[in-house]
Amino acid sequence: MAEPTSIHFVGIGGVGMSSLAQIHVMAGGKATGSDRLFDRGENLDLKEKLQALSMRLHPQDGSGITADTDLVVLSTAIEDSNPEVAAAKKLSKPVIHRSELLARHVERSRTIAVTGTSGKSTVAAMVFEILQAAGRSPSVITGASLISLKERGLYGNAFRGASDLLVIEADESDGSLVNYRPAVGLFLNLTKDHKEVAAMKDILRRFSGNARSLIVNADDPNLAELASKSATFGLRSGELKAERVESRPSCSRFSLRDVEFVLPLPGRYNVENAVAAVAACLGEGVSLADCSRALASYKGLSRRFERVGSAGGVEVIDDYAHNPAKVAAVLSAASLGAARVLAVYQPHGFAPTRLLRSELIGAFAEHLRPQDMLWMPDIYYVGGAASKDVSSADITGPLSAKGIQAFHVPRRDDIIFRIAQAARPGDLVLVMGARDPTLSAFARAVLRAL
């Protein structure tokens, strides 16, 4: 192994950055870092977990970059005016983007790169869990915390195994996945999210040219061009096709080539996720029977239909859903066993809300039933030069006009009392939103109020 190097991670509190920092330390390297949220006293669970791995964390003022720093890695959110960038330049330290460091890991491993608009974290976790259960000792770098890794005392979004197998979440949001050259590219779906579909098709097409082999969802018409020259999977079509699909409130059942699967998650979207994961693992020589056994004990991810608890006959679920496809999928799953869904959706960022406004209205209008309720606080804003010309009211207003019980409540904490007043046995409270590390604490506060 190469001599450990000292890497400084600017924006280390981000899911992508923190996973890379952990993998680096697990491989014997040294890591320092900084993050604006840490400076504000937020995201302290992650901060503690990183410090437990002997990482030194500094204020984001340039002080963490020293003569001993070999490399500085930036997240996408770091501006050129950031004092850390100035410190790196002053000391003539090489600076690279997060995706470039991840690309180095991809190059020296047999990497399965999971991409698509929705489901990346879940499928990456499922692939990792199946390979691990099959004794393949994989590594994982992903965007959400695996419950099984958290139970080992880790933050959960990174783990270094003993083999050369690596599973990564190849994020399409900033287009950086075109830097990766994996052994396997696993394509889940493509809908409008961070960019228009046409722009994302071009990015995924370019990425597909870098992968040595492709596995593609045959059910997604936006991926048809790639599916025609790939191994395929799906619920309605594909070489590996799910049959006898049953979606229940607490689990899903299906079969693949007459092997029965029971997945402890609801929703057809999770069946699709599981079939994608199995398709990737079959390519690594894992049997269907071993895949079935591993998924039967799958413990899930933080904030991916995560059960927070129940009180007074009301269950509380915490979920990362933020784009229209994810909102639609999670609402469908939540509705399976709930008399009513009491939903909270916190939009993240003004630009994404502006881009997806009409699609979000459509998703809520289609999947909220007459008895369901929706509350939306103000848009989560992390800073920057955003144009604040859109509001949560621009979503709840049109929904209310359609007869849907949708309410804009500017202060998120004010929603807790309203839910507690409205809830009755048989209801399910669904908290949705991305990027804000305080959303899980909010979900727990709702549970306490019940």
In a domain, residue 131? The reply is yes
Q: Please check whether residue 223 is in contact with residue 187, taking contact to mean a CB–CB distance below 8 angstroms.
A: yes
d(CA 18, CA 9): 8
Q: Are residues 321 and 444 in the same domain?
A: yes
Angle in degrees, CA 160, 164, 169, rounded to 5: 65
Output helix, strand, coil percentages for the chain, rounded to the nearest 5: 35, 25, 40
* Total domain count, the chain: 3
Q: Alpha helix locations (H) across 91-155?
A: 98-107, 120-133, 147-150
Boundary (domain end) residue, out of 237, 265, 296: 296
d(CA 148, CA 302): 10
In a domain, residue 104? The reply is no
Predicted confidence (pLDDT) at residue 56 exceeds the cutoff of 60: yes
pLDDT tens per residue, range 409-439: 999 999 999 999 999 999 999 999 998 989 9
In a domain, residue 380? The reply is yes
pLDDT tens per residue, range 188-228: 999 887 778 888 899 999 999 999 999 999 999 999 999 98
Q: Please check whether residue 180 is in contact with residue 210, taking contact to mean a CB–CB distance below 8 angstroms.
A: yes
Q: Are residues 390 and 255 in the same domain?
A: no
Q: Are residues 33 and 176 in the same domain?
A: no
Q: Please check whether residue 362 is in contact with residue 404, taking contact to mean a CB–CB distance below 8 angstroms.
A: no
Q: Are residues 380 and 405 in the same domain?
A: yes
Expressed as residue numbers, the domain containing 284 is 109-296
pLDDT tens per residue, range 80-135: 899 999 999 999 999 999 999 999 999 999 999 999 999 999 999 999 999 999 99
Q: Are residues 146 and 212 in the same domain?
A: yes
Q: Are residues 224 and 282 in the same domain?
A: yes
| CATH classification at residue 234 | 3.40.1190.10
Percent of the chain with pLDDT over 70: 98
Q: Buried b vs exposed e over 241-256: b needs ≥16 C-beta within 10 Å?
A: bbeebebeeeebebeb
Q: Are residues 245 and 119 in the same domain?
A: yes
Predicted confidence (pLDDT) at residue 386 exceeds the cutoff of 80: no
d(CA 125, CA 263): 14
Boundary (domain end) residue, out of 296, 328, 356: 296
In a domain, residue 103? The reply is no
Name residue 186's beta-bridge partners: 114, 215
Q: Are residues 253 and 346 in the same domain?
A: no
Q: Please check whether residue 245 is in contact with residue 234, taking contact to mean a CB–CB distance below 8 angstroms.
A: no
Contacts of 41 (CB under 8 A, 6+ apart): none
Q: Are residues 161 and 217 in the same domain?
A: yes
Q: Are residues 272 and 399 in the same domain?
A: no
In a domain, residue 208? The reply is yes
| CATH classification at residue 85 | 3.40.50.720
**Which amino acid, one-letter code, is at 103?**
A
Q: Are residues 269 and 183 in the same domain?
A: yes
Residue 228 DSSP SS3? coil
Q: Are residues 75 and 124 in the same domain?
A: no
pLDDT tens per residue, range 136-189: 999 999 999 999 999 999 999 999 999 999 999 998 766 778 999 999 999 999
Q: List the structure tokens of 33.
A: 């870092």
d(CA 11, CA 21): 11
d(CA 217, CA 236): 10
Q: If 0-12 CB within 10 Å is exposed, 13-18 middle and 19+ buried, where does residue 359 land?
A: middle
In a domain, residue 432? The reply is yes
What is the enclosing helix (H) or strand (E) of 350? Answer: helix 350-367
| CATH classification at residue 439 | 3.90.190.20
pLDDT of residue 197: 84
Give a three-class secondary structure readout of 386-446: CCCCCCCHHHHHHHHHCCCEEEECCCCHHHHHHHHHHCCCCEEEEEEECCCCCHHHHHHHH
Residue 44 DSSP SS3? helix
Q: Alpha helix locations (H) across 82-231?
A: 83-90, 98-107, 120-133, 147-150, 197-208, 224-227
In a domain, residue 1? The reply is no
Boundary (domain end) residue, out of 61, 76, 98: 98
- What's the predicted TM-score (pTM) here? 0.94
